[in-house]
Amino acid sequence: MVLLDSEAQPDGAILDVNLGGEPVFPVADVLIGRGIPIIFTTGYDASALPERFSHLPRCEKPINMHQVAAALCRALQA
């Protein structure tokens, strides 16, 4: 969150759902509020995401870079 307040806006973000035991959802809310496209990566299934994020791309671990690239393209076009 500090980075988002102090740096230029990113073009997009790939967010791991769980960062050191902390959910990334507050960061996702800020990014979405600013119109920044995001992709979630996770080892959890779709039910781990709150309903408000169900429309966003989600790539399951282990990460397949082709899947991430395709999801990123979709997110940037949306």
Q: Is the pLDDT of residue 51 over 90?
A: yes
Amino acid letter, residue 52: R
41 or 45: which leads in pLDDT:
41
pLDDT at 44: 85
3 or 15: which leads in pLDDT:
15
CA 20 to chain centre: 16
Distance CA 2, CA 7 (A): 9
The pLDDT confidence band at residue 11, using thresholds 50, 70 and 90, is confident
What's the average model confidence in pLDDT over 27-40?
93
